[in-house]
Amino acid sequence: MIDPKTLAERFPGDFLFGVATAAFQIEGASKADGRKPSIWDAFSNMPGRVFGRHNGDVACDHYNRLEEDLDLIKEMGVEGYRFSIAWPRIIPEGVGRINEPGLDFYDRLVDGCKARGIKTFATLYHWDLPLSLMGDGGWTARSTAYAFQRYAKVVMARLGDRLDAVATFNEPWCSVWLSHLYGVHAPGERNMQAALHAMHHTNLAHGLAVEAIRHVAPTVPVGLVLNAHAVVAGSDSAEDKAAAQRAFDFHNGAFFDPVFKGQYPQSLLSALGEQMPAVEEGDLAIISQKLDWWGLNYYTPMRVADDPAEGAEFPATVPAPFVNPEKTDIGWEIYPSAMGDLVADLYRRYDLPPMYITENGACYNMDLVDGAVDDQPRLDYYAEHLAVAADLIRDGYPLKGYFAWSLMDNFEWAEGYRMRFGLVHVDYDTQQRTIKKSGQWYRDLALQFPRGNHKSA
Ligand code: IFM
């Protein structure tokens, strides 16, 4: 077992260790204090969408257990908490009426963090679109981008004086491709044209929100969290290498290129441009405003091969086999070095600001035995990926912090509660929290920070 104190020595003294969650996954209280449904409430209540028809009505009951959970975060020894804000609590219909009790909840959350000396990293959108906005087409409608801008303004006007950082979106890949093309996440569409509309309007919403944040809370560092895919060709053949480039353009370039280069990838435009919505004059300038930071969420590589089927839709790839047969309980290949290669590749391709690893972690579903959870494989996963993070710092990449996903077991989207990513175990019958073996290890590491004589990377 890697000793956490030895590992800690590989990070600069001002490196930030944190834990992450998202509103819909933990809060519950889905009808409390004026909150209205999100697309995830509707989706999870439909048969056949979420495992066991689990929903977010109670989740980890975090909304009602805020103080205890903030104590738990403190107990985890971390310096930062990454959480998301639920748009349906703040502007329940997406547009129109502002719901003060919703803002009050996040006020308490932020103040509670500050009182405990914990830095606040807020995400404005972690997939819980107010359901009412689906009446206009949800993310396929340009008007949703402007509704998001207003929501960003409202949140920052209330919380901006106490946030240490804000991200506009979490993983647009999921709320665009997984939600509108692959049909796995809400709203469950399977349509390329709809997905391309969601793509552009999400990118536009990001840019509009950056503008709003800078206007209302100019001192808060603003960023974007991307689950960049570590795309690896399944073989050295020219076909598979070309497939990997196409996959990069589609899965990463669709977001990185407009944000960090002010244009969409040429390959995507050639293949799919006709199905895209109008990119109006000025859109790309709004989208590509310089960011203060960006966040990487990394779990597993994406191995691809060329799809030989005639007329296969762009990016025309099929999955290639895992190289490492070891996988986590959700079926994702464990391959830590791909995280390092991905970061190096992204800094080669784009002019990127400093970064955080905003999510990394593993799904293992072992339960409580005699009051304890022995999740050694999760601990190993963390240790191996953190060693890669330390290598990145050694090699000069501007990596400022790392957030473990997740603080506690929670609603794992289409997988419901059966897939567990927490450092802390949640018994959903009693809402009892138990720090797992991995959580104790992570705490021992995090407790070393910040430490004196900071030597920044
Ligand atoms: O649970 C999710 C999280 O909401 C976004 N990133 C990936 C995690 C694990 O699937």
Q: Calculate the average pLDDT of the chain.
A: 98
Residue 172: pLDDT above 80? Answer: yes
Residue 452 counted as domain residue: no
Q: Over the stretch 203-250, which tens digit does the pLDDT of each residue have?
A: 999 999 999 999 999 999 999 999 999 999 999 999 999 999 999 999
Residue 457 counted as domain residue: no
List Cβ neighbours of 449 (8 Å cut-off, separation of 6 or more). 8, 11, 13, 14, 15, 16, 17, 79
Percent above pLDDT 90 for the chain: 98
Strands 399-405, 424-427: pairing kind: unpaired
Ligand 1 centroid to residue 454 C-alpha, Å: 32
Residue pair 298/227 in contact by the 8 Å Cβ criterion = yes
Q: Which residue has the higher pLDDT, 327 or 452?
A: 327
What per-residue confidence (pLDDT) applies to 380?
A: 98
**Residues tagged active-site:** 171, 359
Minimal-distance CA residue to ligand 1 atom 9: 412
456 pLDDT band, cuts 50/70/90, is very low
- Mean pLDDT score, 122-136: 99
Residue 261 counted as domain residue: yes
Sign of CA dihedral 328, 377, 424, 370: positive
**Which range marks the domain in which residue 241 is found?**
4-446
Question: What is the best residue among 359, 365, 378, 426 to mutate for testing ligand 1's pocket, by most ligand atoms within 8 Å of CB?
Answer: 359
66 pLDDT band, cuts 50/70/90, is very high
C-alpha angle 207-20-10 in degrees, rounded to nearest 5: 100
What per-residue confidence (pLDDT) applies to 452?
A: 76
Q: How many structural domains is the chain composed of? A: 1
Minimal-distance CA residue to ligand 1 atom 2: 412
What per-residue confidence (pLDDT) applies to 455?
A: 47
- Mean pLDDT score, 345-353: 99
- In angstroms, the CA 318 to CA 238 distance is 15
Q: Over the stretch 31-51, which tens digit does the pLDDT of each residue have?
A: 999 999 999 999 999 999 999
- Mean pLDDT score, 126-140: 98
Pocket of ligand 1 (CB under 6 A): 22, 25, 171, 297, 359, 405, 412, 421
Angle between helices 142-159 and 100-115 (to 10 degrees): 50
Question: What is the best residue among 19, 410, 411, 421 to mutate for testing ligand 1's pocket, by most ligand atoms within 8 Å of CB?
Answer: 421
CATH classification at residue 440: 3.20.20.80
What per-residue confidence (pLDDT) applies to 1?
A: 79
**Phi/psi at 382 (nearest 5 deg)?**
-60, -45
Residue 454 counted as domain residue: no
Residue 294 counted as domain residue: yes
Q: Which atom of ligand 1 is nearest to the CA of 297?
A: 6
Ligand 1 centroid to residue 310 C-alpha, Å: 34
Q: Which atom of ligand 1 is nearest to the CA of 359?
A: 6
Residue 359 counted as domain residue: yes
Residue 63 counted as domain residue: yes
What per-residue confidence (pLDDT) applies to 41?
A: 98
Residue 454: pLDDT above 70? Answer: no
Q: pTM for the complete prediction? A: 0.98
Q: Which atom of ligand 1 is nearest to the CA of 413?
A: 1
Question: What is the best residue among 413, 420, 423 to mutate for testing ligand 1's pocket, by most ligand atoms within 8 Å of CB?
Answer: 413
For the chain, how many residues are written?
A: 457
What per-residue confidence (pLDDT) applies to 106?
A: 99
Q: Over the stretch 246-284, which tens digit does the pLDDT of each residue have?
A: 999 999 999 999 999 999 999 999 999 999 999 999 999
- Mean pLDDT score, 91-120: 98
Q: Could you tell me which residues are beta bridge partners of residue 456?
A: none
Residue 415 counted as domain residue: yes
Q: Which atom of ligand 1 is nearest to the CA of 227?
A: 6
What per-residue confidence (pLDDT) applies to 457?
A: 39
Minimal-distance CA residue to ligand 1 atom 4: 22
What per-residue confidence (pLDDT) applies to 318?
A: 98
What's the 3-state SS for the chain? CCCHHHHHCCCCCCCEEEEECCHHHHCCCCCHHHCCCEHHHHHHCCCCCCHHHCCCCCCCCHHHCHHHHHHHHHHCCCCEEEEECCHHHHCCCCCCCCCHHHHHHHHHHHHHHHHCCCEEEEEEECCCCEHHHHHHCHHHCHHHHHHHHHHHHHHHHHHHHHCCEEEEEECHHHHHHHHHCCCCCCCCCCCHHHHHHHHHHHHHHHHHHHHHHHHHCCCCCEEEEECCCEEEECCCCHHHHHHHHHHHHHHHHHHHHHHHHCCCCHHHHHHHHHHCCCCCCCHHHHHCCCCCEEEEECCCEEEEEECCCCCCCCCCEEECCCCCCCECCCCCECCCHHHHHHHHHHHHHCCCCCEEEEECCCCCCCCCECCECCCHHHHHHHHHHHHHHHHHHHCCCCEEEEEEECCECCCCHHHHHHCCCCCEEEECCCCEEEECHHHHHHHHHHCCCCCCCCCCC
